[in-house]
Structure 1
Amino acid sequence: MAEEIKLNSSKLGTQEYWNEFYERELQNFQSNSDDTGECWFDDSDAESKMIQFIADKLEEGEFAKDISFLDLGTGNGHLLFELSQELKEVDDINFTFHGIDYSAESVAFAKDIANKKFPGFSFKFDQIDLLTDTPFLENKFDVLLDKGTLDAIALNQDLINGKRGMDIYAKQVSKMMQKGSILLITSCNFTENELIKVITSETELTEWDQIQYPSFQFGGVQGSTVVSIAFIK
């Protein structure tokens, strides 16, 4: 598929790292309920741009009613919590918010925040490894969100049934999508062309739209430090 695209291995690609990370985050939150943890890509404002992208598409009538969101690698659930606040004034549309993560500590942390900070909202969080969990992949969602999860997967070069995680990610995610479903993914480790190749090479997904970020030019090549692309099935 995309064998020439390879990132160096890092502890950020291991489950052990994230278990320990979210165990600390959960302990901090239990000691101080104002400490809800890290917001990834905060320096590029990626999360708010992803949320605004969804809100704009809703306003344009691009999404059907009763939208199910799935956050891939939900971490502390921050993206879903902020998305729910943005959409809470939208009338006549029912939203469901579901987050999955392979770290049990992440799921416990997100559930704790949801119960204490958002008691009036309904969130569902499950410990799922999307690269290996076959039964869960039978579920279908309208909008799937990824803010750095593919990045972390690509930092682990361990093989799963002979393939790297980044090479089976798109196929696995595609199983949870139906015709018209959207995958909105943000990455700081892949260029635009690399991300498109990773997602579309062996799936029925095609590029749908992009989020624009400030660009820079280096060595005659123009680009940005963060890429956010929406794919449609």
Structure 2
Amino acid sequence: MTEDTTKLNTSKLGTKEYWDNFYALEKDNFESNPDDTGECWFSDSNAEEKMVEFLFDNLNEYAIHDQSSMVDIGTGNGHLLFTLREEGFKGQLLGIDYSEKSVEFARSIAEENDVDVEFEVVDIFSESWDPKVVDVVLDKGTLDAIALSGLQYNDKPVVEIYPHAIDKLMTKGSVFLITSCNFTEKELESIILQNKSLKLWKKVDYPSFQFGGVKGSTICTLAFVKQS
């Protein structure tokens, strides 16, 4: 039997307490210095730029257009959505996070800079969560953090439930764009395609390295499309 490499060791990075404390501190820093809008995750790999670039490069493909409605799962400080608005996407942009402190911080940034982006506290694994469908769903590192939580719902690892949770946000033609640093392309693909209504569409290229005859990258971004 081969090892299931999609299972990660648990970490404090998978706990709500960690993120509440993290974003409470970032909010305090912002209140002292409004130019300090917090950390941009994966900035060393230019992941955010690549995600934004991907959306522009694929305008008018499936549900991607300049008026697309988008939801950013695990939005943190909302940096990705603020960048999308700044770069010219005009549709409704909503950031969701289970950390109240994250949402408070992101709202503070939006208010201070008069940016039309909305934020809500959401537990995507709650059975009562009944969101509106959108054109584009985004995830920049959130599945990574979820995978480190070790949580289970109905005796299933949270990573197995995740692809079906995001399905609530999607309709036929909706695009799911996800970036991960904890999973390889193949691992990420196998996780997301547990939802049989999705298909892999495109991959984003990153600089690669070769070690022991195996070629790889420290980060990956994949785009999926809902087929039905």
User: Is the shorter-chain TM-score for this pair beyond 0.5, marking a shared fold?
Assistant: yes
TM-score of the superposed pair, with normalisation by structure 1: 0.91
Q: Name the CA shift for 1:133/1:19 in 2 (closer, same or farther; >3 Å).
A: farther
Contact 2:181 / 2:219 at 8 angstroms: preserved in 1? Answer: yes
For the pair 1:99 / 2:114, whether they are aligned, the reply is no
- Matching residue's letter, 2:23: Y
* Stretches of structure 1 lacking an aligned partner (at least 5 in a row): 89-93
Aligned residues: percent identity? 51
Contact 1:170 / 1:203 at 8 angstroms: preserved in 2? Answer: no
Task: Name the count of aligned residue pairs.
Answer: 223
What is the alpha-carbon distance in structure 1 between the residues aligned to residue 225 and residue 61 of structure 2? 16
Contact 1:174 / 1:203 at 8 angstroms: preserved in 2? Answer: no
What is the alpha-carbon distance in structure 2 between the residues aligned to residue 38 and residue 76 of structure 1? 8
For the pair 1:195 / 2:188, whether they are aligned, the reply is yes
Structure 2 match to 1:148: 141
Contact 2:63 / 2:135 at 8 angstroms: preserved in 1? Answer: no
For the pair 1:212 / 2:205, whether they are aligned, the reply is yes
Structure 2 match to 1:11: 12
Q: CA deviation at 1:60?
A: 6.5
For the pair 1:110 / 2:106, whether they are aligned, the reply is yes
Q: CA deviation at 1:139?
A: 1.3
Structure 2 match to 1:124: 118
Q: CA deviation at 1:106?
A: 0.2
Q: CA deviation at 1:62?
A: 6.5
Structure 1 match to 2:58: 57
For the pair 1:74 / 2:79, whether they are aligned, the reply is no
- Matching residue's letter, 2:70: F
SS at match of 2:123: coil
Q: Please, which of 173, 176, 179 is the counterpart of residue 166 of structure 2?
A: 173
What is the alpha-carbon distance in structure 2 between the residues aligned to residue 163 and residue 229 of structure 1? 24
- Matching residue's letter, 2:32: S
Q: CA deviation at 1:64?
A: 4.7
Structure 2 match to 1:38: 39
What is the alpha-carbon distance in structure 1 between the residues aligned to residue 14 and residue 212 of structure 2? 30
* Stretches of structure 2 lacking an aligned partner (at least 5 in a row): none
Q: Name the CA shift for 1:64/1:42 in 2 (closer, same or farther; >3 Å).
A: closer
What is the alpha-carbon distance in structure 1 between the residues aligned to residue 217 and residue 156 of structure 2? 29
Q: Name the CA shift for 1:77/1:144 in 2 (closer, same or farther; >3 Å).
A: same
Structure 2 match to 1:226: 219
